[in-house]
Chain A
């Protein structure tokens, strides 16, 4: 409880018991009586002093990191990369989801304990145009009007190979290519009847949440990133940004 000494009054004898009681109360207060209400209300304890660290004895590693673990971004037009049905091996067949990584969207993170990992991503894409029939290929399963690029995040152990099962298809997004009937050449160009850019350009963003466990004393290295799967001959990805939050359980 807070310290509340007995007040002595002027021109009045001060009993020794009063002073003793006040001293005793002060001793009690200093030993166990300081309460939350006595503390300064504004922040004065630096959080760097209270971040609970995790110590990995075998590795000699101590980490107190939780919260934002990292991220990376590519400013507009500084970089771009491509996606296409040849890259992902799908050959424009909708019954084969063969995924490949989008470069520079992945982060490798060592987890010191079981944690929840939250991956945020954003990417812009120019999809198509693709009005061609693949030479030498079987009849394309996917019609011109339905061709699209899929983007989805993945999370896996560091030494694993990316397969469709590692991709979170419940967080999948898509960008459809140009309008059906779009012609890029002068002959038979569609103009307002078949606009290209309305459909073929898209900005997409998404999120993935996944729990990882790590046994005490061990370190779990995970790899998180963005994957693509294309049913379009060629498309361009540009201006992507990713970030990762990691919270220890």
Chain B
């Protein structure tokens, strides 16, 4: 609101109820006082309460095994049409809880040493994520996996109590416990989640596959030979941030792993991940090996 600019009273002016009321009403300023109403230095450092930008931090090291992977933890996949079972791989306890207000932001960073492992051929006719490649010099085809299978590493939180017995899906996430494409043809439905509900997720390639002697315009004869490998050890980063609309108290953060999934599309052209247990002998042998992990979290003011 601008400064009060009403003219002063002059001799001969009529004094009415309205003019009196107007002069007093000039000072009733709901949500109007700003820099035009105050003097320089009206607000200064001493008026500001001490409040750190950074409110809480945690760095939790999980499962600190050898960096040479001499004894990794091994996780098995879901191998039938059933809801996946998330396997916890460690947590960061936040003590009596961090209360994240509407003026705060929660930033979470996770890291996991892991590798996808497979012991049998995933290249199988009828697999969800496969395509036919033509053999050299013949009309025969060989089924080749597109090697898009992956493990999901997912962030969860506990906003119930410090007992950390009520882990839940974070906002923007999905618990993967529902069938992603329930109207699919018999035998084609998959548990999973759409891509717009994958906040706080990271993904690990389950294996690598390829083909030699496939038809690429050459003249040699032969049958396509498919090959597959386990993927190498790697670190998978996971990040998530959250600015709640109202206060929420977070008591713990943890990472879980489940799989194996591949990209999937359902009616309405909605893309997502579908739990897959059909990629031949490879499906039952898929494993996620993991070693050390960490969760770092930062609770800070937005401004």
Contacts and interface: CB of A to CB of B under 8 A. Distances in A.
Contacts of B32: 38, 40
Contact of B67 (A44, A116, A172): A172
A171 B54 contact: no
A192 interface: yes
Contact of A29 (B27, B212, B234): B27
Contact of A38 (B31, B109, B294): B31
A75 interface: no
A39 interface: yes
B176 interface: no
Interface in A1-44: 2-5, 7-12, 14, 19, 22, 26, 29-30, 34, 37-41, 44
A19 B20 contact: yes
Interface string B251-273: 00000000000000000000000
B91 interface: no
Contacts of A116: 54, 57
Interface stretch (B40-48, B72-80, B154-162): B40-48
Given A5-B28, A52-B48, A209 B53 contact: no
A37 to B, nearest CB: 6
Given A4-B28, A176-B233, A40 B20 contact: no
B21 interface: yes
A193 interface: yes
B235 A173 contact: yes
Interface string B31-70: 1111100000001110110101110010101001001100
**Chain A interface bracket (under 10, 10 to 19, 20 to 34, 35 or more):** 35 or more
A171 B294 contact: yes
A247 B109 contact: no
Interface in A169-212: 169-176, 179, 191-193, 195, 198-199, 202, 204-209
A116 B35 CA distance: 34
Interface in B1-37: 1, 16-18, 20-21, 24-25, 27-35
B137 interface: no
Contacts of B45: 50-53
Contacts of B296: 207, 209
A136 B195 CA distance: 53
A44 B52 contact: no
A198 B68 contact: no
Given A38-B32, A192-B211, A204 B235 contact: yes
Given A170-B64, A179-B229, A206-B237, A8 B17 contact: yes
Contact of A195 (B25, B34, B52, B208): B208
Contacts of B47: 50
A37 B31 contact: yes
Nearest to A18: B20
Nearest to A115: B54
B168 interface: no
Interface string A47-80: 1011111000000000000110000000000000
A192 B27 contact: no
B126 interface: no
A49 B43 contact: yes
A160 interface: no
B300 interface: yes
Interface in A144-163: 146, 148, 150
Contact of A5 (B24, B52, B210): B24
Contacts of B68: 94, 146
B232 interface: yes
Contacts of B24: 3, 5, 7, 22, 26
A45 interface: yes
A244 interface: no
Interface in A116-169: 116, 118, 146, 148, 150, 169
Contacts of A8: 17, 20-21
B57 A44 contact: no
Closest 8 CB pairs of A and B: A176-B232, A5-B24, A173-B235, A247-B54, A10-B17, A192-B210, A40-B34, A170-B61
7 contacts: A4-B28, A8-B21, A10-B17, A11-B17, A148-B232, A150-B67, A209-B296
Interface of B: 1, 16-18, 20-21, 24-25, 27-35, 43-45, 47-48, 50, 52-54, 57, 59, 61, 64, 67-68, 109, 111, 113, 208, 210-212, 227, 229, 231-235, 237, 292, 294, 296, 298, 300, 303
